[in-house]
A = this chain, B = another copy of it.
């Protein structure tokens, strides 16, 4: 429902425009979508929209805290709507799929650096790497599938 998204924009003191609502919907509909997928989804809904607009919107939404940007190496930027909680990501080495991973229960061990070299650390992001179920079984018998889209 777009009414929710409109309200989210207003509450974040952002102007409500159709590209913004569409981008927000796209990120909610397909978590971990990369920029190209988002542009595609927005254009499916609204017709032609400039990629520049999508980039601007994503930046504004990220700055407002409505979406979160993750940048896995070897993949374009991806966005997700889960914000404000402490969760990380696992990225498939083979196909690039991304899934959410809640932080290991307990004391968040890795967030306590032993020697911070004087850095004022305020955030830590953990990226797990491995094989997704599909690629793991595929690798067991033949060549793994080539890189494709993110899938929850």
Contact = CB atoms under 8 A, between A and B. Distances in A.
A117 B104 contact: no
Q: How large is the interface on A (under 10, 10 to 19, 20 to 34, 35 or more residues)?
A: 35 or more
A120, A129, A151: which has the most chain B beta carbons within 10 Å? A120
Contacts of A77: 73
A116 to B, nearest CB: 6
Interface string A95-120: 00001111111101111111111111
Interface of A: 65, 71, 73-74, 77, 84, 86, 88, 90, 92, 99-106, 108-133, 136, 147-148, 150-152
Q: Indicate how many identical chains form the complex.
A: 2
Contacts of A127: 124-127
A124 B128 CA distance: 4
A125 B123 contact: no
Given A104-B112, A109-B105, A152-B86, A130 B125 contact: no
A96 to B, nearest CB: 12
B126 A110 contact: yes
A104 B99 contact: no
